[in-house]
A and B are shown apart, each in its own frame.
Chain A
Amino acid sequence: MEVTLRIRRFNPEKDRKPYWAEYTLKDVEPVDRVLDLLHRVKWEIDGTLAMRRSCAHGVCGSDAMRINGANVLACKALVKNYVKGERGRIQVEPILGLRVLKDLIVDMEPFFDHYRSVKPYFISDKPVPENGRERLQSQEVRERFDEGTKCILCAACTTSCPSFWANGTYVGPAAIVQAHRFIFDDRDTAAAERLAILSDETGVWRCRTIFNCTSACPREIPVTELIAEVKNAIVSGSPR
């Protein structure tokens, strides 16, 4: 099939503002990834096109982009989901709410600042078992925080959130998912500290349950639900 990619481009060394550029590719297969098409543009037509990517199968989280208006990983977006028939168009632009540095590359620093602000690491003031072995944990508790452990920090959720677009000081869904993963882990002892951070005005209350984050998550994490669980924990004063 033949596909025309419409790509939002911007080179800070040359352009005063972003513009749309179109590239038509022949011999596209329905199972090609949009990332494959971007590579074809870069490798066959215009080497100046810039994007982040690494693993190319939805695990590393490098290539979150806005494709036909929705946040996805370009390596998990198959052409057949956008183009029916022999000819079609796909529109690709950078994720919203973060400054564009070049073409499809945005400034990830504010995203990681929010991530770091929720203490996204294991904290325990309890001693490790005296026998030198692992802490014990039931399968039920392990299951309780399983969803959040899938997060790959791709930012598809946070940059699909209208509350985040409106106010970039909001920590955003990804940071809350990271906090959730520790709040509901019974080996961790810093849940109260994280709940205090997230009950701040830049925390969970900026979530208006729009569910964009849940739709955007390439790992199928029920993001909005996890945010609601954190809200509940703040209200009830306890995660468990």
Chain B
Amino acid sequence: MKVHQFDAVIVGAGGAGLMAALHASREVKTAVISKLYPTRSHTGTAQGGIGAALGNLEEDRWEWHAFDTVKGSDYLADQDAVDVLCKEAIDAVIELEHMGLPFDRTPDGKISQRRFGGHTNNETKQPVPRACHAADRTGHMILQTLYQQCVKNNVNFFDEYHAVDLIMNQGRPAGIVAVEIGTGELHVFHAKAILFATGGWGKVWQITSNAHTLTGDGNAILFRRGVPMEDMEFFQFHPTGIYRLGILITEGVRGEGGVLINGQGERFMERYAPSIKDLASRDVISRAIYLEIQEGRGIKGKGYVHLDVRPETVNKIFEQEGDPRRIDRHYIESKLPDILDFCRTYLGVDPVTEPMPIQPTAHYGMGGIPTDVNGAVLADEKDALLPGLFAAGECACVSVHGANRLGTNSLVDLVVFGRRGGKAMAEFCKQADFVPLPENPAGEVAAEMERIRTASGSTRVAQLREKMQEVMSKYVGVFREEAGMKQAVEDIRQLKQVFKTNLCIDDKGKVFNTDLLEAWELGCLLDIAEMTAVSALARTESRGAHSREDHPKRDDQNWLKHTFAFLNSRGDIDLRFRPVNIGRYQPKERVY
């Protein structure tokens, strides 16, 4: 076992981790640990844009962005944090441009912006172009740019090191344990400050836009060490995933004029969101698609609808609505090249001449590790801090997304709070000492790894994972009700038992033992599935992405509060609650 010492250690090298690394490394000795090469991180798959009220094409204000975010969140977001998000979004986007990010440009050379779901001019209530973009690979450009700048600044990277435990000593974080994937050796990283930026956990569900590697590692590690998880019942299903594959089709398609069409050829969003139709919030559209399918109006009666961005369709609608925009093949090719490529590759469908078959896909965790606006991790629902522990990006919950995240705000979140987290950990390091390492700091996780490696039961990792995904998709998906969720909690607990007692692992080696690491990741997913189901079962209302058939209404009287899920000493989950920070915007009915 090798021991390393750094002032600041960052786990995860997506947008949030790299932004934090860039800022922390300017001031203190910093290392980034990532189970993937940094440029493989899932930030790179974000497509449509990053929201910021630059007002480059039409009048816009950050306060409008803030209101849209709060409304999108179904009033569960903390409004002080949302103000920070939307105000600093402007400066963060400019910072990215100054780092060389190749945004698309307006005719006068400014950063180009496009319309996106839920982003409006608050006065006219009409969609406003707020999503700053680089074609349909904005996330790719953010990830590349941040990595490039980290290379420029000689940040220390430990690539293909898989973090598996947080080291605590007398209740204080002292470092992390990671597996060097190439050798199987355990490394201890002793640090004053640790920031988790490990991304999401979409692999809990069957159909997801998420990478195979998005298994909620950071959340599970911290949860097991006593850190609560906030608002885990809120998981976003993005309305437009490629049918059966779940690959994301950006909302930017609808921002450019694309529309959703059911099996009867009807533009059904006119019924669900008469004002902004196909650009309503994601939860609203995903539910609409489910209902259309449920009522037999899927395409050919099957489980999907069409997303149509053919120029003849779009131009006809523009004409009917008095919208001066017109699009043609060339415009679509230049604005949505990757989307066209996905559809041509995986479906044999050319979106310029045919509509795309789509269905909702598990996409984004609004909940996660509770933090304040500087990324500092909260130890409980009363805002006690865990000094030296930070989190940012999707794994964290500030909370700026509340019950449903607005499109583009994931990228805003990771640059704004990645930056704040990086700066805050540098400040912390300057005034803090190292917490001494406990005796045998990697002992516990080494034993667990050894248990998995030598497991000789009869259930394959993939079998168990599929079963979990089936249970969660059936009972804790877009629509939920009590009996189903109770069943889910029971089933997941059984699967956890199988994981502990009857797992089968083929690879007994050390070098690139991905059999072992996939099993360990499944352990994380199972923990997350359980806390998601338990949190969802408790919340007897419908809000944002949490939609209960047995409690169809939002209940501000009882539920305008955040859920905090704790692991208790018996290994069960306790729930406690924290009030929402309301600011300028009092909760009201949410109509699009």
* Chain A interfacial positions (CB closer than 8 Å to B): 11-14, 31, 39, 42-44, 46-48, 50-62, 76, 78, 101-103, 105, 108, 112, 116, 119-124, 128, 132-139, 142, 145-146, 149-150, 152-153, 181-182, 185, 187-188, 220
Does the CB pair A55–B505 fall under 8 Å? no
CB-contact partner of A47 in B110, B134, B460, under 8 A: B460
B502 within 8 A of A: no
- Pick the contact of A152 from B39, B105, B182 — CB < 8 Å? B39
Which of these, B104, B109, B510, B512, contacts A136 with CB under 8 Å? B109
Does B584 touch A at the CB level, under 8 Å? no
Taking a contact as CB atoms under 8 Å apart, the answer to whether B149 and A50 are in contact is: no
* Contact flag A47-B149 (CB < 8 Å), given A60-B45, A185-B100, A188-B100: no
Is B42 a contact of A55 with CB atoms below 8 Å? yes
Known interface pairs A48-B506, A101-B512, A108-B37; A58-B111 also in contact (CB < 8 Å): no
Show 23 A/B contacts (Cβ-Cβ < 8 Å), sorted by A.
Answer: A12-B511, A48-B515, A50-B513, A53-B212, A54-B40, A54-B42, A57-B245, A57-B342, A58-B342, A58-B345, A102-B511, A108-B37, A122-B148, A124-B100, A134-B93, A134-B97, A136-B109, A138-B109, A142-B105, A149-B102, A149-B137, A149-B141, A220-B341
Residue ID in chain B nearest A50 by CB atoms: B512
Greatest chain A CB density within 10 A among B42, B45, B100, B104 is at B100
Tell which of B45, B149, B505 touches A57, judged by Cβ atoms closer than 8 Å. Answer: B45
Chain B residues, Cβ within 8 Å of A150? 137, 140
Given contacts A50-B514, A54-B42, A152-B44, contact A122 B107 (CB under 8 A): no
Given the complex, which residues of A lie within 8 Å of B39, measured CB to CB?
A: 60-61, 152-153
Interface flag for B450 (CB, 8 Å):
no
Given A56-B212, A121-B152, check contact A142 B42 (CB 8 Å). no
Q: What residues of A have a CB within 8 angstroms of the CB of B110 in the complex?
A: 133-134, 136
**Is B79 an interface position by the 8 A CB rule?**
no
CB pair A54 B212 closer than 8 Å: yes
Q: A120-B148, A122-B152 are in contact. List 11 more A-B contacts (CB 8 A).
A: A48-B509, A50-B512, A53-B212, A59-B137, A60-B40, A76-B345, A78-B345, A108-B37, A132-B91, A133-B110, A149-B134
The residue on A at minimum CB distance from B56 is A134
> In the complex, A47→B512 CA distance in Å?
12
How far, in whole Å, are A135 and B513 apart by their CA atoms in the complex? Answer: 47
Nearest Cβ on chain B to A216's Cβ, whole angstroms:
16
Those 5 A-B pairs whose CB atoms lie nearest each other, nearest first: A122-B100, A47-B506, A43-B462, A136-B109, A121-B148
Closest to B347 in A: A31
Contact of B512 among A105, A120, A153 (CB under 8 A): A105
In the complex, chain A residues whose CB is within 8 Å of the CB of B98: 128, 134-135
Q: CB-nearest residue of chain B relative to A105?
A: B512
| Bound-state Cα–Cα, A52 to B42, Å | 14
Residue from the list A31, A133, A152 in contact with B346, Cβ < 8 A = A31
Q: Are B40 and A121 interface neighbours, CB within 8 A?
A: no
Which residues in B have their C-beta under 8 angstroms from that of A43?
460-462
Contact A13 B510 (CB under 8 A): yes
Residues on B lying within 8 angstroms of A by beta carbon are 36-37, 39-42, 44-45, 91, 93-94, 97-100, 102-105, 107-111, 134-135, 137, 140-141, 144-145, 148-149, 151-152, 182, 211-213, 245, 247, 338, 341-342, 345-346, 348, 460-462, 505-507, 509-515
Task: Report which of B135, B341, B462 forms a contact with A58, defined as CB distance below 8 A.
Answer: B341
Residues of chain B within 8 A (CB-CB) of A132 are: 91, 94
Contact A46 B506 (CB under 8 A): yes
Which of B44, B102, B509, B513 is close to A59, meaning CB atoms less than 8 Å apart?
A: B44
Q: B41's closest neighbor in chain A, by CB? A: A60
Beyond A47-B505, A60-B44, A138-B105, whether A101 also contacts B182 by CB under 8 A is yes
A137 lies within 8 A of B506 (CB): no
Chain A residue contacts of B509, Cβ below 8 A: 11, 13-14, 48
Closest to A63 in B: B40
CB A87 to nearest CB in B, in angstroms, measures 22
Q: Are B151 and A116 in contact (CB under 8 A)?
A: yes
CA distance A80 to B533 in the complex (A): 39
A149 to B142, alpha carbons, bound, how many Å? 11
Question: Which residue of chain A has the shortest Cβ distance to B137 in the bound complex?
Answer: A150
A60-B211 CB under 8 A given contacts A47-B460, A149-B134: yes
Q: For the complex, what is the distance from the CA of A76 to the CA of B346, rounded to whole Å?
A: 8
Per the bound structure, the CA–CA distance linking A9 and B345 in Å amounts to: 28
Contacts of A149 in B (CB 8 A): 102, 134, 137, 141, 144
Inter-chain contact A47/B151, CB cutoff 8 Å: no
Residue of A53, A78, A134 near B111 (CB, 8 A) is A134
Chain B nearest CB: distance from A22 CB in Å? Answer: 17
**Residues of A contacting B505 with CB < 8 Å?**
47
Q: Which residues from A are CB-within-8-Å of B462?
A: 39, 42-44
Are A62's CB and B460's CB within 8 A?
Answer: no
B100 touches A187 (CB 8 A): yes
A60 and B109 within 8 A (CB) = no
In angstroms, Cα B93 to Cα A139, docked, is 18
Pick the residue among A57, A61, A138, A188 that contacts B40 (CB under 8 A): A61
Indicate if the CB atoms of A55 and B211 lie closer than 8 Å. yes
CA distance A146 to B212 in the complex (A): 29
Knowing A54-B40, A54-B211, say if A137 contacts B109 (CB, 8 Å).
Answer: yes
Residues of A within 8 A of B515 (CB): 42, 47-48
Question: Measured between alpha carbons, how far is A31 from B343 in the docked complex, in Å?
Answer: 12
Report the bound CA distance from A121 to B134 in whole Å.
Answer: 17
Interface pair B511/A13, CB less than 8 Å apart: yes
List the A side residues contacting B41 at CB < 8 Å: 60
The smallest C-beta distance from B357 to any residue of chain A, in angstroms, reads: 12
How far, in Å, is A69 (CB) from chain B's closest CB? 20
By a CB distance below 8 angstroms, the chain B residues around A124 are 100
A121 near B151 (CB under 8 angstroms)?
yes
Chain B residues with Cβ under 8 A from A134's Cβ? 93-94, 97-98, 103, 110-111
Q: Given the known A-B contacts A59-B140, A136-B110, A137-B109, are A101 and B511 also in contact in the complex, defined by CB atoms under 8 Å?
A: yes
Contact A55 B45 (CB under 8 A): yes
Shortest distance in angstroms between A227's beta carbon and chain B's nearest beta carbon? 20
Check if B511 sits within 8 Å of A11, measured CB to CB: yes
* Closest CB in chain B relative to A14 CB, distance in Å: 8
